[in-house]
Amino acid sequence: MATSVMEHTPSAGLGARVWSWITTTDHKRIGVLYGVTAFAFFLIGGLEALLIRLQLSHSGNTVVSAQTYNELFTMHGTTMVFLAVMPLSAAFFNFVIPLQIGARDVAFPRLNAFSYWVFLLGGLFLNASFLVGAAPNAGWFGYANLTSSQYSPGHHIDFWVLGLQVLGIASIAAGINFIVTIVNMRAPGMRLMRMPVFTWMSLVTQFIIVTAFPVITVALVFLMFDRYFGTNFYQVAAGGDVLLWQHLFWLFGHPEVYILILPAMGIISDVIPTFSRKPLFGYAVVVYSGLLIAVLGWGVWAHHMFQVGLGPIAESVFAATTMMIAIPTGVKIFNWIATMWGGRIRFTTAMLFAVGFIAMFIIGGLSGVMHSSPPADLQQTDTYFVVAHFHYVLFGGAMMGIFAGIYYWWPKVTGRLLSEGIGKTHFWLTIIGSNLAFFPMHFIGLLGMPRRIYTYDAALGLDTLNLVSTVGAFVMGTGMLVFVFNVLWSRTRGQPAGNDPWGGATLEWSISSPPPAYNFSVIPEVRSRMPLWSENGMTPVPAVPPEPVHVPPGSFWPALAATGIIVAAVGAILKSLLVVLGGGAVLIVAIYAWALEPFEV
Amino acid sequence: MKIGEWIARITRLRSRRSRLVSGIRGSAYNLSTVKDARIRHSHGSRGWTAALLLAAVAVGVSACSGEFPQSTLHPTADFSQQIDTLYRTIFWWALGVFVLVEAALLFVIIRYRERPGSPEPRHIHGSTLLEVAWTLAPAVVLVFIAVPTIRTIFRTDGTAPEGALAVEVVGHQWWWEFHYPELGITTANEMHVPQGRPVALSMTSKDVIHSFWVPKLGGKRDVMPGRTTRIAFTPDSIGEVYGQCAEFCGDSHANMRFRVVVDAPDEFERWSTGQLAGPTSVDSLSGPAQAGAQVFMTKGCLACHTIEGRSAGVLGPNLTHLASRSTIASGILPNDAEGLTRWLRDPPAEKPGSLMPKIPFTDDELAALVAYLRTLN
C-alpha cells in the first residue's frame, strides 16, 4: 500500500518528473494540466482573433488572404469554445470540486486522466491542421452542405469533423466522472443544498454535457459518413436535407452556451459572497435558476435558425421559450447584486473580475433578448451585432468569470498569491479593451456588416468603427500579456497564501495551500452550507493525518488509450485503414491493461 | 436623424446617471483626505471606462450622420420599417433595464466598499418577497416585448399581396441571379424593382446555403439548395440600396454583394423594356467591339455565359444586358472599362475561389473583349 504523499521531489530527475505528470491520476495535478493546456490554446485563439482584427482594421485590407481568413475565424471559434473556455472550466472542475465536497479525489481518477489526454491530443490534432495547410474553414458551426466533399475538398473539414468527435469523448467521459463524484463522494453532512454554488453549477453543466454531446456526435458522424463513405444525410440532390445539420447542431449548440457560462456563474457565486463578507443572497433560488436555465436551454435551439424561415408558429414558440430564459438569468444577476448590498466589499482582482462579469453580462443578456425577437433577429443574426452579443456573453461573461476563478483559487493551487497590483492592471486593460473591441460591433452590425467577411466595402462607412474595435482587441491582448507576466512573477515572488487568504466559507479553504495529495487528512463532517463561517460548521481537519492515507499510484494506460484514439484519427486523415486499425488496437490493449491493473500497488 | 437622437438621449442619460452617482458619493461619504483620494482614484478609472463607452457612442453618432447604404436603421420598405419599429420598442425596454440594473450595480459597489471600521455585514440569506418581485418584473417586461414581436412575425411572414411583382432569386457561389417570370427577364447582381409595388421573392440556391439580405428593405432570409424560401416587401423610396450574402458560403462569401435599384414606376417600365430588347447585332459592331465578339466566341466565354442569340451558357451570369448594370463581379468592381479589364485579366485574384478562371488574353484581345461587353446594353 502506498501511503501518504507521492509527490515528486526536487531531487527526482527530469524524466521521472515528466513521467509522473503523464501518469498522474491526482485530480489537482490533472486540473493544473487542464488549466495550462487550455490557457495555451486560449492564447492561440487570441492570436487568431488579433489577426482577424488586423485584417478588418480598414476596408479592403490584405493582411491575410480570403482562405486564411476563413481558417482563422473558424479556428478562433472552435478553439475558444472547445479548447479554451470548456477546458478552463474543466480545470476548475478538477481542482476545486473534490476540495469543495470534501473528497480525496474524483470517482474515477484514471478516467479523469484519460479525459485530459484525449483533450490535449484532440486539441493538438485540430491545430496540426495549420501545419499541413488545411485548417478547418467553414465556421465553428460548419453548416452543411458547405462541408460536403463537393464544396470542401481537401482535409480542412476532415480535421474538424474528426477533432470535434475526439474532443467529445473527453467531455462526455469527464461529465460522467464529475456527476458520479458529486453525487457519491460528498463528505458526510454535505447535503446537496449545502454544496457550494460552483459545485452545483458544475453538476448542472455535467448533465448538459453528457446529454448535449451525443447530439453533436450524431451530427458529426453523419457528416463523416457523407465525406468518407458517400452517404447522403446532407446531400440535397440525393434527398438529404441541409437543415438536418442545423437542427442537430443547434440542439447541441444552445445547451453548449450554458456549458460555457454556467461554470463561470458558479465561480462568481462563490467569489462574490467571499469578498462581500455575506452569504449568497437567495442560495436556493440561484441553484434552481441554474437548473431552470439548463432545462429551458433544451427548448430554444431554433432561435439560431430564424433566418431559414421556420414559419410564424414555430418562430413565435421559440421566441417565447427564448425570452423565458431571460427570467432565471435576470434572477441570478439580481441575487448577486443583493449579495453585495449591505456587504463589506473588498475589491481584490478576483472580485473586480466578478463584478466585471455582471456588468458585461447584463449587456450581453439584453442584446440576447433583442435576438429572441425573430423579426429583429432577421436584421441582426449573422452580422457583427450578434458577434458583439456573444462576445459580451462569452468573453464578458465566461472569460471574466474564469479570470475571477483564477485569481481566487490560484493561491490554493500554488500556495502563493498572484500579485494584486499586476492583477488590477490586467483587469483594467481587459475591461477597457473588451468594451472598446466589442461595443462598436453593435453599431457595425446594425449598420450592415455581416460576420465572416474577410473584406468589406469602404462605401459601407464602417472603417472608423472597425478601427476602434481593432484597437480594443490589442488593448485586451496587452492585458493578457500582463496576466502571463503576473503568473511568471508570482511563481517565485508571490506572497505565501496560507490555508485561507481570502477568508472563504467553503471546505477548500480549511486545508493547506497547495493541498496535500490526499486533500483531507480526515474527511470532515459538514454541518453548514458555509462550514468556515459557521460556529462549529465542520469537524476539524488535522494538519497531519492521524493514520496513513492510501493514495493510488499513477497509471500510464489512460494516456496510452488516448494516444490510440488520436492515432486512429490521424489514420482517418491519411485515409489509411491500417493506421486506423493500429490506433484501435492500441486503444483496446490500453483499456484491457487499464481494467486489469491491480487496484493497490 | 432618429438614431442620432437616441444616442444623444443615451448620452444625456449617462451623464444624468454619473451626476446621480456623484450625488450619492457626496452625501454618503465623509472621509479623510487620503481615503478621498483613493475613492477619487478609483472613480477616475471608472470614469475612464465611461468616457471610453461615451467615445464609442460618439463614434456611433458620427457614424449615423454619414451615408450607410447597408444600414438596418434606415428602412425604406414596409418590411424593414416594421422590423425597425419593433426593434426600437425592444431597444427602449432594454435600455431602461440596462440603466436600472447597471445603476444598481454601480450604487452597490460604491456604497458598500470596504472602509476601515465598516461593520461585519449581517448575514442575510434571502427574501422570498424580493425573489418573487424580481422574477415577475422581467416577466412583465418580456410580455411588452413578446406581444409586438408575435404581431410582427405574422405581418412579415413573406406572404405577398395580390399583384406583387414576382422575382425568383437564385444564389450561386458567389453571385446572384434574378428572374422575372412575368416579364421574361434574367439578370444578375442588380435587381430592379418599381417603387410602391409589392415585390415577392422566391429564393433557392444552386450550390450551398446563402442568405439574401438587403437591410434597408428588410430582414435576411436564407437561400438553400432543395428548398424555396420567401420574403416580400414594398419599397417606398427611389434609389439604390446595397445587399450582401449573410450566410457564410465559402471562399468569397465577402464578395457576394448585390444592389437593389428602386425605380420610379415609369423608369422601371423603361428598364424592363430595355432588358427585353435583344442585344446589338454583331454585324452592326465595328472595330475592337467586333473583334471582341470573336474573342467571346473563341476563348470559351460562351460556355458559361448567355448572350441572347449568341450563346447559352448557364454557369455564370447572363450577360445579355451587362452594360446596363453599374457593377460587375457581384458588386465588387465598377462596370467600366477599367473595372472590366481588371476583372477579366484575373478573376480569382479579384474574387478568391472564383469559378471563372484566369484566361490568358493578349492585351489586344482584352481591350477588344471589354469594348464588346460595353456594347451589351
pLDDT one-digit tens code per residue, B316-366: 999 999 999 999 999 999 999 999 999 999 999 999 999 999 999 999 999
Q: Considering CB atoms only, which of A363, A375, A452 is closest to B219?
A: A375
Collapse the DSSP code of B235 into the 3-class scheme (helix H, G, I; strand E, B; otherwise coil) and give the result. Answer: strand
The answer to whether residue A545 neighbours chain B at the CB level (below 8 Å) is no
β-strands B311-312, B221-223 pairing: unpaired
Q: Label residues B264-294 b or e (16+ Cβ within 10 Å = b).
A: eeeebeebbeebeeebeebeebeebbbbbbe
Answer yes or no: is A20 within a domain: no
A592 with A485, same domain: the answer is no
A491 with A429, same domain: the answer is yes
* Beta carbons within 10 angstroms of residue B298's beta carbon: 10
- Assign 3-state DSSP to chain A and report helix, strand, coil percentages, each to 5: 70, 0, 30
The answer to whether the CB atoms of B146 and A320 lie below 8 A apart is: yes
- In 3D, which of A339, A201, A358 has the Cα closest to residue A278? A339
- Output DSSP code: residue B352: T
Q: Which CATH number fits domain B282-373: 1.20.1260.120, 3.40.50.300, 1.10.760.10, 2.60.40.420?
A: 2.60.40.420
- Output DSSP code: residue A307: G
> Mutate which of A272, A358, A373, A429 to disrupt the B interface (most B C-beta within 10 Å)?
A373
Q: Is the model's pLDDT at B289 over the cut of 50?
A: yes
Collapse the DSSP code of B298 into the 3-class scheme (helix H, G, I; strand E, B; otherwise coil) and give the result. Answer: helix
Answer yes or no: is A1 within a domain: no
The answer to whether the CB atoms of A450 and B244 lie below 8 A apart is: yes
The answer to whether residue A284 neighbours chain B at the CB level (below 8 Å) is yes
A215 with A289, same domain: the answer is yes
DSSP B156-224: TSSPPPTTPEEEEEEEETTEEEEEETTTTEEEESEEEEETTS-EEEEEEESSS-EEE--TTT---EEE-
Give the whole-number percent of chain A exceeding pLDDT 90. Answer: 95
The answer to whether residue A62 neighbours chain B at the CB level (below 8 Å) is no
Question: Which amino acid would we find at residue B31?
Answer: L
Cell numbers standing for residue A508: 477548500
pTM attached to this predicted model: 0.91
A535 with A588, same domain: the answer is no
User: Which residues of chain B does A138 touch, with a Cβ-Cβ cutoff of 8 Å?
Assistant: 248
A219 with A116, same domain: the answer is yes
Phi, psi of B331 (to 5 degrees): 80, 10
* Residues A116-166: tens digit of each pLDDT: 999 999 999 999 999 999 999 999 999 999 999 999 999 999 999 999 999
User: Which residues of chain B does A242 touch, with a Cβ-Cβ cutoff of 8 Å?
Assistant: 209, 224-227
Average pLDDT over residues B48-54: 58
- Output DSSP code: residue A135: -
Q: Is the model's pLDDT at B162 over the cut of 80?
A: yes
* Residues A53-68: tens digit of each pLDDT: 999 999 999 999 999 9
Answer yes or no: is A557 within a domain: no
Q: What is the pLDDT of residue B214?
A: 97
Answer yes or no: is A148 within a domain: yes
The answer to whether the CB atoms of B90 and A309 lie below 8 A apart is: no
Alpha-carbon span A442 to A457, nearest angstrom: 18
In chain B, positions 29-48, which contact chain A (CB-CB < 8 Å)?
Answer: 42, 45, 48
Q: What is the pLDDT of residue B158?
A: 86
* Residues B266-275: tens digit of each pLDDT: 999 999 999 9
Q: Is the model's pLDDT at B3 over the cut of 50?
A: no
* Residues A237-256: tens digit of each pLDDT: 999 999 999 999 999 999 99
Cite the residue boundaries of each domain of chain B with CATH code 2.60.40.420: 165-276, 282-373
Q: Residue B118 to residues A281, A504, B31, B39: CA-CA distances in angstroms? A: 20, 19, 13, 15
Alpha-carbon span A118 to B363, nearest angstrom: 58
Collapse the DSSP code of A279 into the 3-class scheme (helix H, G, I; strand E, B; otherwise coil) and give the result. Answer: coil
* Residues A334-364: tens digit of each pLDDT: 999 999 999 999 999 999 999 999 999 999 9
Q: How close B97 comes to chain A (CA, Å)? A: 8
Count of domains for chain A: 2
Residue B351 CB contacts under 8 Å (≥ 6 apart), including other chains? B174, B252, B255, B329, B330, B332
Alpha-carbon span A597 to A591, nearest angstrom: 10
- In chain A, the residue whose alpha carbon lies closest to the alpha carbon of B243 is A448
CATH number where A148 lies: 1.20.210.10
At which residue does the C-alpha cell 414576382 appear?
B166
Answer yes or no: is A19 within a domain: no
A487 with A590, same domain: the answer is no
A422 with A525, same domain: the answer is yes
* Residues A205-245: tens digit of each pLDDT: 999 999 999 999 999 999 999 999 999 999 999 999 999 99
Average pLDDT over residues B283-301: 89
Average pLDDT over residues B288-305: 91
User: Which residues of chain A does B135 touch, with a Cβ-Cβ cutoff of 8 Å?
Assistant: 327, 331
User: Which residues of chain A does B174 touch, with a Cβ-Cβ cutoff of 8 Å?
Assistant: none
The whole domain housing A572 covers 562-601
Phi, psi of A452 (to 5 degrees): 65, 35
* Residues B83-138: tens digit of each pLDDT: 999 999 999 999 999 999 999 999 999 999 999 888 889 998 999 999 999 999 99
Residue A546 CB contacts under 8 Å (≥ 6 apart), including other chains? A521, A522
A142 with A53, same domain: the answer is yes
DSSP B113-150: B--TTPPPPP-----HHHHHHHHHHHHHHHHHHHHHHH
Q: What is the pLDDT of residue B286?
A: 81
Q: What is the pLDDT of residue B60?
A: 54
The answer to whether the CB atoms of B90 and A320 lie below 8 A apart is: no
The answer to whether residue B219 neighbours chain A at the CB level (below 8 Å) is yes
A349 with A493, same domain: the answer is yes
A546 with A566, same domain: the answer is no
Q: Is the model's pLDDT at B42 over the cut of 50?
A: no
Q: Is the model's pLDDT at B57 over the cut of 80?
A: no
- Report which of residues A10 and A99 the model is more confident about: A99
* Residues A403-436: tens digit of each pLDDT: 999 999 999 999 999 999 999 999 999 999 999 9
Alpha-carbon span A419 to A482, nearest angstrom: 11
Residues A414, A349 contacting (CB under 8 angstroms)? no
Q: How close B100 comes to chain A (CA, Å)? A: 11
**ipTM of the shown complex:** 0.93
Collapse the DSSP code of A106 into the 3-class scheme (helix H, G, I; strand E, B; otherwise coil) and give the result. Answer: coil
Q: How confident is the model at residue B58 (pLDDT cuts 50, 70, 90)?
A: low
The answer to whether residue B348 neighbours chain A at the CB level (below 8 Å) is no
Average pLDDT over residues B8-21: 43
A597 with A487, same domain: the answer is no
Burial of B122 (0-12, 13-18, 19+ CB in 10 A): exposed
The answer to whether the CB atoms of A370 and B91 lie below 8 A apart is: yes
Q: Residue A87 to residues A34, A41, A117, A263, A566: CA-CA distances in angstroms? A: 6, 10, 12, 11, 18
Q: What is the pLDDT of residue B44?
A: 43
Average pLDDT over residues A443-456: 97
Q: How confident is the model at residue B43 (pLDDT cuts 50, 70, 90)?
A: very low
Among A513, A528, A552, identify where a domain stops: A552
Q: What is the pLDDT of residue B18?
A: 42
The answer to whether residue B189 neighbours chain A at the CB level (below 8 Å) is no
Q: How many helices (H) and strands (E) does chain B have?
A: 9, 14
Residues A474, A433 contacting (CB under 8 angstroms)? yes
Name the β-bridge partners of B287: none
Residue B65 CB contacts under 8 Å (≥ 6 apart), including other chains? B1, B4
The answer to whether the CB atoms of B130 and A338 lie below 8 A apart is: yes
* Residues B235-262: tens digit of each pLDDT: 999 999 999 999 999 999 999 999 999 9
The answer to whether the CB atoms of B213 and A450 lie below 8 A apart is: yes
- Report which of residues A14 and A374 the model is more confident about: A374
Q: Considering CB atoms only, which of B68, B153, B213 is closest to A315?
A: B153
Answer yes or no: is A15 within a domain: no
Residues B377, B335 contacting (CB under 8 angstroms)? no
Answer yes or no: is A251 within a domain: yes
A473 with A575, same domain: the answer is no
Q: What is the pLDDT of residue A108?
A: 95
- In 3D, which of B221, B201, B216, B84 has the Cα closest to residue A311? B221
Peptide bond into B174 cis (omega under 30): yes
Question: Which amino acid would we find at residue A168?
Answer: G
Cell numbers standing for residue B222: 436564407
Mean pLDDT, all residues of chain B:
85
Alpha-carbon span A323 to A95, nearest angstrom: 35
The answer to whether the CB atoms of A375 and B80 lie below 8 A apart is: no
Residues A211, A205 contacting (CB under 8 angstroms)? no
- In chain A, the residue whose alpha carbon lies closest to the alpha carbon of B241 is A460
The answer to whether the CB atoms of B122 and A338 lie below 8 A apart is: no
Domain B165-276 has CATH 3.90.76.10: no
Answer yes or no: is A82 within a domain: yes
Q: How confident is the model at residue B5 (pLDDT cuts 50, 70, 90)?
A: low
Q: How confident is the model at residue A268 (pLDDT cuts 50, 70, 90)?
A: very high
In chain B, positions 93-112, which contact chain A (CB-CB < 8 Å)?
Answer: 94, 97-98, 101-102, 104-105, 108-109, 112
Give the whole-number percent of chain B exceeding pLDDT 90. Answer: 72
Q: Is the model's pLDDT at B34 over the cut of 50?
A: no
Q: Label residues B198-211 b or e (16+ Cβ within 10 Å = b).
A: bbbbbbbbebbbbb
- In 3D, which of A183, A193, A163, A178 has the Cα closest to residue A92? A178
- In chain A, the residue whose alpha carbon lies closest to the alpha carbon of B74 is A447
Q: Residue A342 to residues A284, A345, A452, A458: CA-CA distances in angstroms? A: 20, 9, 46, 52
